[in-house]
Amino acid sequence: MGKATGFMEYDRQESPYRDALERIKDWNELYLPVSETIRLEQAARCMDCGTPFCHSGIIYNGLPSGCPLNNLIPEWNDLLYNGKWEDALSRLLMTNNFPEFTGRVCPAPCEGACTLGITNPKVTIKNNELAIIEMGFQEGWIHPFIPVKRTGKKIAVIGSGPSGLACAEQLNKVGHLVTIYERDDRPGGLLMYGIPNMKLDKKFVLRRTELMEKSGITFILNTEVGKDITKDELQSNFDAIVFCTGSTTPRDLKVENRNANGIYFAVDYLSKNTKSLLDSTHKDNQYISAKDKKVIVIGGGDTGNDCVATAIRQGCKSVHQFEIMPEASKERTTENPWPEFPRYKKTDYGQKEAIALFKEDPRIYQISTKGFEQDENQQVIALNTVKVEWSKDYDNNFFPREITGSNKKYQADLVLLAMGFIGPDSELVNHFALETDKRSNIKAEYKNHATNIDKVFAAGDTRRGQSLIVWAIQEGRQAARAVDLSLMGITYLP
Q: Kindly tell me the burial class for residue 205, based on how many C-beta atoms sit within 10 Å of its own C-beta (0-12, 13-18, 19 or more).
A: buried
Alpha carbon distance 146, 214 (integer Å): 8
Strand, helix or coil for residue 141: coil
Q: Cα(first)–Cα(last) distance of the chain, in Å?
A: 24
The superfamily CATH assigns to domain 6-138 is Alpha-helical ferredoxin (1.10.1060.10)
Residue 93 region by backbone torsions, left for phi larger than 0, else alpha for psi between -120 and 50, else beta: alpha
Strand, helix or coil for residue 402: strand
Domain boundaries, given as residue ranges, for the chain: 6-138, 154-248+422-488, 263-417
Alpha carbon distance 363, 383 (integer Å): 15
Mean pLDDT rounded to a whole number for the chain: 96
Domains 6-138 and 263-417 in one fold: no
Alpha carbon distance 494, 488 (integer Å): 15
Alpha carbon distance 188, 161 (integer Å): 5
Omega of the bond leading into 99 within 30 degrees of 0 (cis): no
Residue pLDDT tens, the chain, 494 long = 678 899 999 999 999 999 999 999 999 999 998 999 999 999 999 998 889 999 999 998 888 899 999 999 999 999 999 999 999 999 999 999 999 999 999 999 999 999 999 999 999 999 999 999 999 999 999 999 999 999 999 999 999 999 999 999 999 999 999 999 999 999 999 999 999 999 999 999 999 999 999 999 999 999 999 999 999 999 999 999 999 999 999 999 999 999 999 999 999 999 999 999 999 999 999 999 999 999 999 999 999 999 999 999 999 999 999 999 999 999 999 989 999 999 999 999 999 999 999 999 999 999 999 999 999 999 999 999 999 999 988 888 888 999 999 999 999 999 999 999 999 999 999 999 999 999 999 999 999 999 999 999 999 999 999 999 999 999 999 999 999 999 999 999 99
Strands 367-374 and 380-392: antiparallel
From 321, 407, 412, 318, select the one nearest 374 (Cα to Cα): 412
The model scores a pTM over 0.85: yes
Read off the DSSP letter of residue 106: -
From 467, 416, 413, select the one nearest 439 (Cα to Cα): 467
**pLDDT score at 396:** 82
Cβ(302)–Cβ(279) below 8 Å:
no
- Cα distances (Å, whole numbers) of residue 195 to 60, 199, 274, 487: 27, 7, 8, 35
Strands 154-158 and 63-65: unpaired
Q: Read off the pLDDT of residues 47-101 as tens digits, 9 standing for 90 and up.
A: 988 899 999 999 988 888 999 999 999 999 999 999 999 999 999 999 999 999 9
Instruction: Cite the DSSP H helix spans in 178-262.
Output: 202-214, 231-237
From 219, 202, 237, 95, select the one nearest 157 (Cα to Cα): 219
Alpha carbon distance 350, 348 (integer Å): 6
Q: Distance between alpha carbon 180 and the CA centroid of its chain, in Å?
A: 20
Q: CATH assignment of 154-248+422-488?
A: 3.50.50.60
Options 3.50.50.60, 3.30.429.10, 3.40.50.970, 3.40.50.300; CATH of 263-417: 3.50.50.60
